[in-house]
């Protein structure tokens, strides 16, 4: 199939799925965007390291407008805990820029495996508590904890080209006792903030690097951004509507599945099994 035609088919479909998932679960969708872009770029003959870094940087650039769309929908339904946003946002941007810088110079394989293990542990905890009463979002979490959590999530966001929602949502639910919808809404706001630090790091560290795609700005492919973001932005609103029509228990169960898939992906299980779309 012609390379341009393949790109025009695959990326908008992926963007549509990402938009729904972002609004529904408060995640950035990097776990879908990164492998899809990596597959296309390596299929087109780009170096694997270049392809991976471009996939990470481009994912973060798409996450920003998609998250803004979803965040607006959750805010209108009063499901954003704003007292957590400022402290986590400030340290998260710093962490995301640092993570993106680290990823631009090192493979980060060990951290990827550790992150996957953390996600699997979070999934196990989520399943264990799935029938417990939903939190009310009125926990006494202190500002230092918000600052520390924000930096950690932001770092992994920049390092692995993800929005960070797969880590934030279980942290909010399991440790800060937020309601599941409040967790998703607050996560949606923060992943947009974190994406700024991450994709700027990929732009800065990719300027002048040889072998990049034709329409790249650093490690961000502007053509890919356009094809992914155009469908993802409006469909994030659809995800928000679905989230607010679904019971908290069902949302926790569905999010646990997302965590398991993401955790296995980070550990490398899908690569071993030869499943390219998830590798």
- Tens of pLDDT, residues 239-250: 999 988 988 888
Q: What is the mean pLDDT of the chain?
A: 84
Q: Please give the structure tokens belonging to residue 258.
A: 């997302």
Quote the pLDDT of residue 132.
54
CA 152 to chain CA centroid, nearest Å: 14
Sequence ranges of the domains in the chain: 3-278
Q: What is the mean pLDDT of residues 216-220?
A: 95
Least confident of 17-31, 33-47, 113-127: 113-127
- The set of residues, in sequence order, having a beta carbon less than 8 Å from that of 26 and lying 6+ positions away, is 70, 74, 165, 168, 169, 183, 184, 185, 186, 187, 188, 191
Quote the pLDDT of residue 134.
56
**What element of type H or E holds 192?**
helix 180-206
**How far apart are the C-alpha atoms of 232 and 91, rounded to whole Å?**
27
**How far apart are the C-alpha atoms of 153 and 256, rounded to whole Å?**
18
Quote the pLDDT of residue 97.
87
pLDDT interval class at 100 (50, 70, 90): confident
**Residue range 248-272, pLDDT digits in tens:** 888 888 888 888 887 887 787 877 7
pTM: 0.80
Least confident of 163-177, 178-192, 216-230: 163-177
Quote the pLDDT of residue 279.
54
Tell whether the model's pLDDT for residue 108 goes beyond 60.
no
Tell whether the model's pLDDT for residue 3 goes beyond 80.
no
Residue 109: CB atoms within 10 Å:
10
């Amino acid at each position: 199939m012609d390379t341009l035609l393949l790109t025009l088919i695959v990326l908008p479909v992926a963007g549509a799925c990402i938009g729904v998932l972002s609004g529904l679960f408060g995640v950035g969708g990097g776990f879908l965007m990164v492998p899809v872009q990596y597959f296309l770029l390596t299929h087109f003959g780009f170096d694997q390291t270049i392809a991976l870094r471009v996939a990470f940087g481009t994912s973060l650039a798409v996450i920003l407008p998609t998250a803004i769309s979803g965040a607006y929908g959750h805010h209108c339904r009063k499901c954003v805990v704003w007292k957590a946003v400022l402290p986590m946002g400030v340290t998260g941007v710093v962490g995301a820029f640092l993570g993106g810088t680290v990823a631009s110079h090192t493979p980060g394989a060990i951290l990827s495996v550790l992150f996957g293990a953390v996600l699997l542990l979070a999934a196990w905890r989520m399943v264990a508590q799935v029938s417990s009463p939903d939190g009310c979002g009125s926990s006494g979490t202190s500002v230092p904890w918000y600052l520390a959590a924000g930096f950690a999530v932001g770092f992994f966001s920049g390092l692995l080209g993800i929005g960070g929602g797969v880590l934030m949502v279980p942290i909010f639910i399991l440790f800060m006792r937020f309601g599941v919808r409040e967790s998703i809404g607050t996560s949606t706001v923060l992943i947009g903030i974190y994406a700024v630090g991450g994709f700027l790091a990929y732009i800065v560290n990719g300027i002048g690097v040889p072998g990049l795609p034709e329409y790249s700005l650093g490690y961000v492919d502007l053509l890919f951004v356009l094809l992914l973001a155009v469908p993802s932005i409006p469909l994030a609103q659809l995800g928000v509507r679905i989230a607010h029509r679904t019971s908290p228990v069902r949302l926790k169960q569905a999010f646990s599945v997302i965590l398991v898939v993401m955790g296995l992906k980070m550990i490398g299980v899908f690569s071993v099994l030869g499943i390219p779309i998830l590798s």
